[in-house]
Amino acid sequence: MHTAPLVNRMQGDMPKIGIRPVIDGRRGGIRESLEEPTMNMAKACAQLLSQTLRHANGLPVECVIADTTIGGVTEAARAADKFRKEGVGVTITVTPSWCYPMETIDTDPLMPKAIWGFNGTERPGAVYLASALGAHNQKGLPAFSIYGKDVQDIGDSSIPEDVQDKLLRFAKAGLALATMRGKSYLALGTVSMGIAGCIVDETFFQDYLGMRNEYVDMSEFVRRMERDIYDKEEYERALSWTKENCHIGADVNSEALKRTSEQKEQDWEVVVKMTLIARDLMIGNPKLAEMGFEEEAMGHNALAAGFQGQRAWTDHYPNGDFMEAILTSSFDWNGIREPYMLATENDNLNAVTMLFGHLLTNSAQIFADVRTYWSPEAVKRVTGQALTGAAAGGVIHLINSGPAALDGTGEQTINGKPAMKPFWDITEKEVKQCLDATLWCPAVDFFRGGGYSTDFTTRGDMPMTMARINVMKGLGPVLQIAEGYSVELPSEVHDILDQRSNPTWPTTWFVPNLTGKGAFQDVYTVMNHWGSNHCAVSYGHIGADLITLASMLRIPVCMHNIPNERVFRPSAWTAFGVDEPVGADYRACAALGPLYG
């Protein structure tokens, strides 16, 4: 197995970061003395970002520096024109000195923007920073403030660690925003089992994310299967790989409901074809054009998608678990590659949350039900054993019918510890370990059309972030965030608890970090405050990155356990209530309105 070439599989170029070196425009010795340190600041910023960041597809992040320093409106316009031609999607202004704010700021209302004002004493950039932020806020153009804690000497081109953290957090979120703009969400089917998160709210996608909506009836899968509208050569290769690498698990159905060997064999053929078709629907496939299917070859430029499945499909055809699990994993028969964001049950709100996590971490995401809170008392009652260690206060059982990415096994490692990594860092050995840690169990009885579900248990001690977007009438979208860790329970405890849900489905035992107050008073309270039956789970503690991205999109965060010192929002938010950050977030988002609205 090899790592696929780094490619942009979407239409349009990847967004770049524009660096704006702003300067005091007064000639006669002032501007001249600042040219070199100002441009060096821009170069240092660009070097940090381009050497540290990558897009989720593995391609390097490119920075574009204005051709000259910007001392007035003419040079600002020249820089903006260059950025448009270069495909810049986010800008960072840097300066070591006082400049003329109204003449030099970035006034593009759709462009995420930050200002790094150098903390120096000779010609303090902090003065410009404060004045420029005031101008941005007065004009309704929110910008992020980046200001180092420690004074530096003029000409010092090093970037302090606290400044680096803010530059990187801002850039990651800004690039995620710019990557989503103009792409599609593809609904494969419609509402599953009355779940409101399946209702595609076009206003949300268009006004908040800058995305368009595409729709395909699930009968398109039948048409393409029956008319052979898929790459047959790839299908044979995919089916062979699946039979060799996907290990069969237990069939827990009653004898009367068990499918025959012939039916199970046919199910494998169908679910592999479904996987190829779903991918082709999302991003297209030039092979189809060679076969005479030019329209089908185009795809829908879908950065994320969702498959309805239940029940209109699964009452007759094999379920979508294999399709969803393989596509959302970082590997398949074509090698190690970028995962796709494909949500179960067409829960588009969870698909967007998965997309946020993927663009911020570059890694696969786990789709899960927020199924059960197990209190220590309840566990003791049904198992006879006490929860200990990180699980002592109770655990949340994250489990779904089997669509979770195989990366969620935790069989990849970073510094010897379980992890979920960007695909370009995953080894062939780790792929095999993920596959070997997963069993494919024949679907349980309420999937009347058969199929297969993944069965694995996530390894413990993985830092994780559970998140979810919900839409509220009269309010709009809100984001929930819970950082915490996966935990492993003793096998005998796990088995008893797992049997009470479904032993053929993937399990992640999750314990949130607690603050002792509000929604994070204890584990039960986190579960009790969750706003939906689904969540997206990212590797790592990325709550601060999610908060930054949400503020750019004007989506308030109703619940999080992120320390205040890690929260990074535009400077305008302080005007809405410094001592009440949650309320300030709501008021700022309401006052500014959705980014594209």
Letter for the amino acid at 21?
Answer: P
Angle at the Cα of 315 from the Cα atoms of 314 and 319, rounded to 5 degrees:
20
Containing H/E element for 214? strand 212-216
265 is in an annotated binding site: no
Give the span between the Cα atoms of 336 and 434, in whole angstroms.
12
The span from the CA of 83 to the CA of 87, in Å, is 6
- Do residues 124 and 98 lie in contact, with contact meaning Cβ atoms separated by under 8 Å? yes
397 is in an annotated binding site: no
**Region label for 242, one of left (φ > 0), alpha (ψ between -120 and 50) or beta (otherwise):** alpha
Report strand pairing: 476-487 vs 557-559: parallel
Q: Coil, strand, or helix at residue 283?
A: helix
* Structural contact between residues 21 and 95, judged by C-beta atoms closer than 8 angstroms: yes
CB 181 within 8 A of CB 359: no
**Residue recorded with tokens 């028969």:** 333
Task: Report the distance separating Cα 435 and Cα 420, nearest Å.
Answer: 14
Is 214 within 8 Å of 302 (Cβ atoms)? yes
Strand 507-512 and strand 395-399: pairing? antiparallel
CB 475 within 8 A of CB 365: no
DSSP letters spanning 162-213: HHHHHHHHHHHHHHHHHHHTT-EEEEESS--TT-GGGS--HHIIIIII--EE
Phi, psi at residue 374, to the nearest 5°?
-105, 110
- CA-based nearest residue to 21, from 115, 87, 108: 115
Let me know: does 13 contact 87? Beta carbons within 8 Å.
Answer: yes
**Radius of gyration for the chain, computed over Cα atoms and rounded to the nearest angstrom:** 25
Matching residue, tokens 């448009």: 84
Q: Is 217 annotated as a binding residue?
A: no
Catalytically annotated residues: 345, 369
Q: Which position has the token pair 């698909």?
A: 351
Give every CB contact of residue 107 below 8 A, 6+ residues apart in sequence.
139, 141
> What's phi and psi for 56, nearest 5 deg?
-65, -20
Q: Is the dihedral of CA 220, 224, 225, 231 positive or negative?
A: negative
What count of Cα atoms within 13 Å lies in the side-chain half-sphere of residue 118? 32
3-state secondary structure 435-499: HHCCEEEECCCCCCCCCEEEECECCCCCEEEEEEEEEECCCEEEEEEEEEEEECCCHHHHHHHHH
SS3 category, 411: coil
Q: Which helix (H) or strand (E) holds 368?
A: strand 366-374
Q: What's the rounded Cα separation, in Å, for the pair 538 and 542?
A: 8
Annotated binding residues for Mn(2+): 345, 369, 534
Annotated binding residues: 345, 369, 534
